Amino acid sequence: MKPTADRPRAVSTLDKRVASLDDAVLAMAQTRDFGKHTKLRRLLEALRRVLVQPGGAAAVQARARALEEAGLFLGTDWASPEILIPALVGPGLHAGDADTVVMEACSELRTLAVARGEYAHPSISAEDAREFLTQVLAMNLELLFTPPTEAERAQQGRTAQLIRDLFRHLADEIGYDSVLDKLVEEIWRILRQRPIQVDQVQSLITRIAVYRGDPDVDLGNSAGQGIDRLITALFGTTEACREDPGVEVFRSRLQAMDNGDLQYEAAGFARAMHDTGLVSPYHAELLRFLRHKSDYLLGEALGLSDTGRNCLLRYSELVHRLIEDAVHPQTAQCIYGLALLLDRGILYEAPVVPALWRQLALELSEHARERLTTVFGDEPGPEARLTAGVLSMLGLPLGVGQGDNPTCQSARALSMWAYNDPDYLLQMVVWAARDDEIIMHFEGQPISSKDSESGVASTLPMDLDPVSLLVVPHLDRIYAEMGRRCAGRPGDPHRWVNPEFHGWWAARGFRINVDVETGNLIELDTFLRQFHASYHPAYNGGQPLIHPQPAGVAVTDSAARYVGWHAITILRVAADPQEVMRVYFYNPNNDSGQDWGDGVVVSTAGNGERFGEASLPFDQFASRLYIFHADPLEHGEPEKVPGADVERIIDFIERSWGADRLPGGRLQAAKDPHA
């Protein structure tokens, strides 16, 4: 077993930390049982320092027997692995206490060593150990490939990534066969949200594909037609690339085809792309080939609607250049963005076409080139990467993610501009990529990202799409500076910051149900009635939402405990297929399908959601809302909202994030005499 990665710096750091770990294990082993607790702190810290390193999990696995015999688990439930319950592993790993996470991680790695036959344990067999880990993986699928949630980032810091590295190691060692069906279901759940960044999903599909190719592995009859669709979407989409022959062989096959065969290929790629949201590298090669053939075949390969075809024909020169510059096998995912951009019809907005020509000719600053190359590599060049990122963001405005960074405000702004004001987004990209500076105005006064102090993020974010990678650091500093300029004003600074930061369409009316000074809930009845009157069709005259609106929610965990404030965008309010009134919203937190406790589970599909939308029933959404904007001149009919509806929402609040924020005892909603 080789617990190290092929990176000299990582190897050196890991070796040093493993040596310290071995010393700590020896010290505990040489101590009598009654004194082992005095050595525990040193050992836990040494374990944590090893586990956060690449290859650290394998190093701890190799020392599983030594750790147990030294007394790491002495006096705890972990000392008896035969009584451990798989369902409790997840809560243990999500515990706020870092020591508990380290102990749980070591317990799983001990079980893995037993399952692999490396440690003959007296109380658990290798078969039982494998079954235990299979259940753990199946119950915690999100830890295999989804980034940390808002709650995890707030509560665990770097430990959240340690947990994910642990689970990837467990999956690589145990294999995916027994959890394949559930894995496929989870992959489809993520893909239905149509994120811009799909690297982790692609990596997982690739690993499963390799695993399935192992002749010694029997995945059984339930090995999943669903995974076949995902694998072929990436590697064997059509007849010409069925056996994954490589790009050069595929290109030679295209050259030998007539138009009928090319149309068959084009339709196959388009169908797979729109079905899964994934794009094969072969699709990029096909598009580059077809731009020399005909726009009709290009439209077939992109799977365009009538609107998209009209845009392609009207602006064919621009589309050809975008394909030439941005579409490569390494950036194939942007093809989906290009197709949806054309289908949105935004090229008919007067500024967008010249702005995209400017993007194609843009000279990047040295800093921008370095950032893009560091994260994405130098093939293709940083200009191509950035243009590909622009296509993805304009096509998938609800697919923007904040990564593992506290920059939800900036991610929301980018999404909102791509959705609502694409030429403004393109201007932001130019300022950030060419000038290394963005200047915005707050109440008439300029704010430069160069001159502003640090933002919300303490380090430069790296796990972002190309556009976010360059623009978010500037927006983050400007957003923080706007907040600083509100210092001393009464109330919440978002009242002034949101309209200035996001755009004129962010309504100037502002409602908040938390007193900033005390943190207590205030005017809940008025707040909830006004939210109904502003957004619920039954109380706002049936007026649909025109522009997406910034809002703030109190995020809670699956036990309905308060985690923190989070920025989202309200997109629309409508009845779902079951005639339940729902709020459809954008959440920048990478995976919108979250359990907020007390039965409040955010839906991303199956309740009328469009790709990228999250939704909740109106009352459940209102129970987590703490800030919203509304037009102050449109009053609606707040007095007609039934008191029972308001009371039900207040009950939700009292049972969750508002439990410790109730001044003077329980708040009662005013009873509506007409209810």
In 3D space, the residue among 461, 485, 490 whose CA is nearest the CA of residue 475 turns out to be 461
**pLDDT the model gives residue 667:** 40
**What's the pLDDT tens digit per position in 524-574?**
999 999 999 999 999 999 999 999 999 999 999 877 889 899 999 999 999
- Of 337-341, 428-432, 484-488, the one with minimum mean pLDDT is 484-488
**pLDDT the model gives residue 601:** 93
Residue 519, both tokens: 């943190």
- Of 160-174, 488-502, 623-637, the one with minimum mean pLDDT is 160-174
**What's the pLDDT tens digit per position in 83-115?**
888 878 888 887 778 899 999 999 999 999 999
Burial 570-586 (b: 16+ CB within 10 A, else e): bbbbeebeeeebbbbbb
| % of the chain with per-residue pLDDT over 90 | 72
Query: Cα(647)–Cα(670) distance, rounded to whole angstroms?
Result: 8
Helix (H) or strand (E) holding 126: helix 126-139
**What's the pLDDT tens digit per position in 505-526?**
999 999 999 999 899 999 999 9
Asked whether residue 577 carries a pLDDT value surpassing 70, the answer given is: yes
**What's the pLDDT tens digit per position in 390-405?**
999 999 999 999 988 8
**pLDDT the model gives residue 224:** 59
**pLDDT the model gives residue 648:** 96
Asked whether residue 222 carries a pLDDT value surpassing 60, the answer given is: no
**Strongest mean pLDDT among 137-151, 447-461, 546-560, 611-625:** 611-625
Residue whose structure tokens are 């149309």: 263
* Residue 607: strand, helix, or coil: coil
For 6-29, what is the mean pLDDT? 80
Question: What average pLDDT does the structure give for the chain?
Answer: 90
Could you please report the per-residue DSSP string of 27-89?
A: HHHTS-GGGTHHHHHHHHHHHHHHHTSTTHHHHHHHTHHHHHHHTTTTTSGGG-GGG--GGGH
Please check whether residue 389 is in contact with residue 411, taking contact to mean a CB–CB distance below 8 angstroms. no
Q: 49: pLDDT confidence band, cut at 50, 70 and 90? A: very high
Residue whose structure tokens are 């707030």: 154
Asked whether residue 182 carries a pLDDT value surpassing 90, the answer given is: no
pTM: predicted TM-score of the whole model, two decimal places = 0.80
Asked whether residue 673 carries a pLDDT value surpassing 50, the answer given is: no
**What's the pLDDT tens digit per position in 278-304?**
999 999 999 999 999 999 999 999 999
**pLDDT the model gives residue 1:** 41
Q: Can you name the residues that pair with 442 across neighbouring β-strands?
A: 445
Q: How crowded is the C-beta side of 492, counted as CA atoms within 13 Å?
A: 20
**pLDDT the model gives residue 637:** 96
**pLDDT the model gives residue 663:** 74
- Of 73-87, 166-180, 637-651, the one with minimum mean pLDDT is 166-180
- Of 7-21, 454-468, 491-505, 628-642, the one with minimum mean pLDDT is 7-21
Residue 196, both tokens: 């811009």
Q: Vertex 50, ends 47 and 54: CA angle to 5°?
A: 145
